[in-house]
Amino acid sequence: MASNTLTIEEYREVAPKGTVDLLLRLAERVRGRRFLHVNSTRSGGGVAEILNRLVPIMTDLGIKAGWEVIEGDPGFFATTKALHNALQGMEQALTVAMLEHYVDVNRANAERLRPTGDLILVHDPQPAALILARPPEGKWAWRCHIDLSAPQRRVWAFLRRFVERYDAAVFSLPSFAQRLDIPQFLVYPSIDPLAEKNRRMSRQEIQKTLDALRVQSDKPILLQVSRFDRFKDPVGVINAYRIVKRYHDVRLVLAGGGATDDPEGAEVLNEVREVAARDADIYVLDLPADAHLQINALQRAATIVIQKSTREGFGLTVAEAMWKGKPVIGGATGGITAQILYGVTGYTVNSVEGAAYRIRYLLGNPPLIRRMGAAGREHVRRNFLITRHLQDYLSLLVRLTA
Ligand code: UDP
C-alpha cells in the first residue's frame, strides 16, 4: 500500500469504536488549516516512520498537511548527533564553532524552506533553531522525541534558548518535560496497526517468514527485538534465558540490526554472538533495516516478548508486541514503565533474576499468557495507536490556533 493513498476510513475496524468519528469532528473544526511538520530525515528512525503515515492521513482529513526536511553537511549532523547524546545525558564535547555551525545551517534551511503555516511542528533538536527565522504569523511548537530527563546542563541551556521562543513544547513522557516558560504538552508515541510491522498476518505467512529466517517454532519462543545496543541489555536477556532453560525447553531469539554501519553496534553484536555460542536454541538475527514483516512474524510467533532495557526512551517494541497479543517483560525504565500495566499486560523487572522469575512464572501459566496478551492488545488499542496520536496532534492544532 502506497503511503500517499492512506485514508482514515481504513482505521475504522482497528481503532476503538468512535475514534474515527471523533477524528472527523476534530478535523471539521480545523479543516483547511496548514499544519507543517519539519524534521531532519525522510526515512530511518521512528519520527520519519510515523510522519510517513500521519501526514497522508491528515491530508485525507482535510488538513493542509505538509512535511519539510532540513538539509545539512556531515559537520552539521556530527554536531546534532553529539547534541542528541548530550541531551540524553552523555558527556560530549561540543565546541563553540560546532554550535555556531548548527545555528548557521538552521538559518540557511529557514531561508530555503521559509516554513509557514497555522501550526509548524518542529521535531527534535536538529531543526530547533529554525525558530530564529519565524515569520510573524502562525504558531510554532517544538516536538521533543528524546529523553530529556537528565541532559548535560550546558547543552540544554544552549538549546533552551531556542525552545523558549516557541509557543509550546511537546514531550513523549512526563519525566522528559523540562522547566520552561511556555506551555508543555504530553503526547505518547504510537504504532501504526496497518503498517507492515504490525498488520495482520496469516498463520501460513508467519510460518513462511520464520522458515526463511530459519527460525524453528517447535518450542516456545522468547523474543527481544532491539538494535544491538548495551542499553537494551541483550546479554542480560541471554542470562535470564539460561536460568529459564533449566526448567523449560524454550528457544531465544534476539533480533536486531543496523550493526554494520555502527561500530558500537557491531561490537555488541559480536559480544552477543560470543555469549550465545554453541547454544543451538539461541538465534541471533542481524536483520536489514527494512525487515518489518520479519519482525512482525517473529513478534507473532513469540510466546513471551522481552524488552530488558536498562535505559529506554519510549520503547516502541513493547507496544508492537502487546498489539500482537503478547505479554511483555520489560526493564523498569523510561517509557516501558508507562506502557506495561504491571501484572495485567506483563511485568517490569529490575534484574536478570527478576526477568527469569517472571518468564518462568508465565511459562508455567499458559492461561495467564493469553489473558495478559489480550489485555495488552486492548491497552495498545486505546492508548498507543496512530489514531490516538493523530487525535492529540489535531487537538494541539485546535488549542494553539483557536
Ligand atoms: N527495529 C527494527 N529492526 C531492528 C531493531 C528494531 O525495525 O533490527 C524497530 C522496532 O521494531 C521498533 C523500532 O525499530 O519499531 C525501535 O524502537 P524502540 O523505541 O523500541 O527503540 P530505539 O531503537 O528507538 O531505541
The model's pLDDT over 284-327, given as tens digits with 9 standing for 90+, comes to 999 998 999 999 999 999 999 999 999 898 999 999 999 999 99
Please work out whether the CB of residue 222 comes within 6 Å of at least one atom of ligand 1: no
pLDDT of residue 187: 97
13 occurs within a structural domain: yes
Is residue 267's pLDDT more than 50? Answer: yes
In a domain, 309, yes or no: yes
Average of pLDDT values for 61-89? 95
**In this structure, are residues 338 and 312 in contact, taking their beta carbons and an 8 Å threshold?**
no
* pLDDT given at position 161: 97
**At 2, is the pLDDT very low, low, confident or very high (cuts 50, 70, 90)?**
very low
Q: So what's the pLDDT on residue 265? A: 86
For 354, the enclosing helix (H) or strand (E) is helix 352-363
Indicate if ligand 1 lies below 6 Å from the C-beta of 225. yes
> Of 160, 194, 149, which Cα lies nearest the Cα of 13?
194
Q: Does some domain include residue 284?
A: yes
Q: How confident is the model at residue 3 (pLDDT cuts 50, 70, 90)?
A: very low
Using the mean position of ligand 1's atoms as its centre, give its distance from the Cα of residue 221 in Å. Answer: 19
Our answer on whether the CB atom of 327 is closer than 6 Å to any ligand 1 atom is no
CA of 232 to the centre of ligand 1 (A): 11
d(CA 21, CA 287): 39
List Cβ neighbours of 279 (8 Å cut-off, separation of 6 or more): none
Element (H, E) at 257: strand 251-257
Domain with residue 62: its CATH number is 3.40.50.2000
Give 324-381 pLDDT, tens digit per residue.
Answer: 999 999 999 999 999 999 999 999 999 999 999 999 999 999 999 999 999 999 999 9
Domain encompassing residue 184: 8-190+385-401
Q: Ligand 1 pocket, 20 CB below 6 A?
A: no
The verdict on 355 and 317 lying in the same domain is: yes
Assess whether 33 and 166 both reside in one domain: yes
Q: How far is CA 139 from CA 26, 35, 119, 146, 382, in A?
A: 18, 10, 5, 22, 29
Q: From the alpha carbon of 258, which atom of ligand 1 is closest?
A: 8
Mean pLDDT, rounded, of the chain: 95
The answer to whether residue 266 is domain-embedded is: yes
147 lines ligand 1 (CB under 6 A): no
Structural domain count of the chain: 2
For residue 162, is it within any domain?
yes
Does residue 145 belong to any structural domain of this protein? yes
Mutate to test the pocket of ligand 1, among 49, 88, 226, 284 (most ligand atoms within 8 A of CB): 226
The residue whose grid cell reads 525487515 is: 291
Same domain, 31 and 169: yes
Mean pLDDT across 152-162: 97
Contact 196, 293 (CB under 8 A): yes
Asked if residue 47 has its Cβ within 6 Å of ligand 1, the reply is: no
Helical spans, DSSP H, in 119-220: 153-163, 203-213
Q: Please, which residues bridge with residue 306 across strands?
A: 329
At how many degrees (to 10) do helices 96-113 and 74-87 cross? 110
Mean pLDDT value across residues 165-191: 95
Closest CA to 235 of 189, 203, 179, 282: 282
Q: Tell whether 143 and 280 lie within a shared domain.
A: no
Sheet containing 304-307: order of strands:
282-287, 251-257, 221-225, 304-307, 328-331, 346-349
Which alpha helices (DSSP H) does 233-315 contain, by range? 234-245, 263-276, 292-301
1 pLDDT tier (thresholds 50, 70, 90): very low
Dihedral class, residue 285 (left if φ above 0, else alpha if ψ from -120 to 50, else beta): beta
Does 124 have pLDDT greater than 50? yes
235 and 349 fall within a common domain: yes
**Predicted TM-score of the model (pTM):** 0.93
Same domain assignment for residues 394 and 370:
no
CA of residue 97 to ligand 1 center, whole Å: 33
List the one residue out of 232, 327, 234 whose CA is nearest residue 276: 234
Q: What is the pLDDT of residues 15-57, one digit of tens each?
A: 999 999 999 999 999 999 999 999 999 887 788 989 999 999 9
In a domain, 231, yes or no: yes
State whether 25 and 143 are in the same domain: yes
User: Tell me, what's the pLDDT at 330?
Assistant: 98
The answer to whether the beta carbons of residues 385 and 191 sit under 8 Å apart is yes
Same domain (yes/no): 182, 233: no
In a domain, 176, yes or no: yes
320 lines ligand 1 (CB under 6 A): yes
CB 98, CB 123: distance < 8 Å? no
Given a cut of 60, whether residue 229 has pLDDT beyond it is yes
Atom of ligand 1 nearest to the CA of 287: 8
Does residue 325 sit in the same domain as residue 361? yes
Average pLDDT over residues 73-79: 94
Tell me, what's the pLDDT at 311?
87
Structure-block grid coordinates of residue 98: 560546532
pLDDT of res. 258: 65
φ, ψ at 369 (rounded to 5°): -60, -45
Q: Return the best residue to mutate from 146, 199, 316 for the ligand 1 pocket (most ligand atoms within 8 A of CB).
A: 316
Q: What sign has the CA pseudo-torsion 69, 67, 188, 331?
A: negative
Residue whose grid cell is 513471551: 304
Q: How far apart are CA 106 and CA 142, in angstroms?
A: 14
Query: Ligand 1 center to residue 219 CA distance, Å?
Result: 25
Do 180 and 247 fall into the same domain?
A: no
- 121 and 247 in a single domain? The answer is no
Query: Residues 227, 308: one domain?
Result: yes
